Amino acid sequence: MSLSILITVDTELWCNGWKSLDACFPDALKKYIYGKTPSGEYGLPFLLRVLKDNELKATFFVEPLFALRFGPDSLAEIVGTILDAGQSVELHLHTEWVDEAKLPLFPEVNEKRQHIRYFSYDEQVVLLDKASELLRLAGAPKLHAFRAGNFGANFDTLRALSTSNIGIDSSYNSNQPACEIDLNPPIYQAEIVRDILEVPMTIFRDGIGRQRPMQITACSLGELIAILNHAFQEKWQHLVLLTHSAEMLNDSKTRKSSVVVGRFVKFCEYLSKNNERFTTIDFRSPRLRPVDGEFSQLHCGALPTLTRLVEQAWGRLP
């Protein structure tokens, strides 16, 4: 049986601070969603085109709370762009937007709360329901899955998801301190946790013994391919890959990152050429289910990691 690959894209925008939001928003939309640069677009249009060219599925975890400040039109445009390309939309939340809403959800909240776990269970239900409504009004179908911004969820989040009829969570990240879904031992494959199907972020041990997320900007192509093949050999059922809507750009969002763009394209081409072993799915797939058995953490050799270190040093050059 082939290994299921969940390509996930956290689709979100930022205004580079919280001052002059309304003036900064148009430029933020261009950069963080569409990835506009002097050499072309490397955000959603680019990601969707590469996925289509390689006949791959992906899940776009869309952050909708910004629409409480800027209105529904841009959110509807984002959702429509993803759905028109045949890809899947699920829910992502960055709760820093809560106090920026023109019609406050919580009038008493007038400060930044970075993680959803900073809200009570009842407040989390309100947030999930409102965010789901925003996506529904933007044209998204029924939601199946959720990922907390910064992976900053807790067990109240799982309880709130159950109340809000969202049955899958992908907020568990054993390498992220913001995540307070504390599981001991850690899980590596999907399991039922507090009545929710928890699909963990894939974390591996790199060639120098450090914990790394399976993220496009955090791994070399060699590391990504090594982890794919190690998981296939160990008979894992699925892996979760992370990227972001603006991750193909450099840190200042002024131009494309040639290293990251090339890595993403080659990774997708590798999946396409090896589709007898690797199948991309979304969170609506019947292949995504609890996995029995014991699994050890994946790891890779030193050479792919050294390649990444060199790429990262090269990418920091002006």
pLDDT digit of tens for each residue in the chain (318 aa)? 899 999 999 999 999 899 999 999 999 999 999 999 999 999 999 999 999 999 999 999 999 999 999 999 999 999 999 999 999 999 999 999 999 999 999 999 999 999 999 999 999 999 999 999 999 999 999 999 999 999 999 999 999 999 999 999 999 999 999 999 999 999 999 999 999 999 999 999 998 889 999 999 999 999 999 999 999 999 999 999 999 999 999 999 999 999 999 999 999 999 999 999 999 999 999 999 999 988 999 998 887 777 777 776 665 655
Domain of residue 8, residue span:
3-315
CA distance 175 to 53: 33
CA distance 78 to 305: 35
| Cα three-residue angle 184-91-185, rounded to 5 degrees | 5
CATH code at position 158: 3.20.20.370
CA distance 308 to 132: 38
Range list of H helices, the chain: 21-28, 44-53, 67-70, 73-84, 121-137, 155-163, 221-233, 258-273, 302-315
Q: What is the pLDDT of residue 305?
A: 79
CA distance 11 to 201: 16
CA distance 193 to 168: 10
Q: How many separate domains does the chain show?
A: 1
Q: Are 158 and 135 in contact (CB under 8 A)?
A: no
CA distance 224 to 241: 9
DSSP per residue, 97-129: GGGG-SS-SSTT--S---SGGGS-HHHHHHHHH
Q: What is the pLDDT of residue 304?
A: 76
Q: Are 243 and 236 in contact (CB under 8 A)?
A: no
Q: Are 246 and 253 in contact (CB under 8 A)?
A: yes
Q: Are 195 and 162 in contact (CB under 8 A)?
A: yes
- Tracing tokens 């989390």 back to the chain, one arrives at 124
Contacts of 24 by beta carbon, 8 Å cutoff, 6+ apart? 15, 16, 17
The three-state secondary structure class of 278 is strand
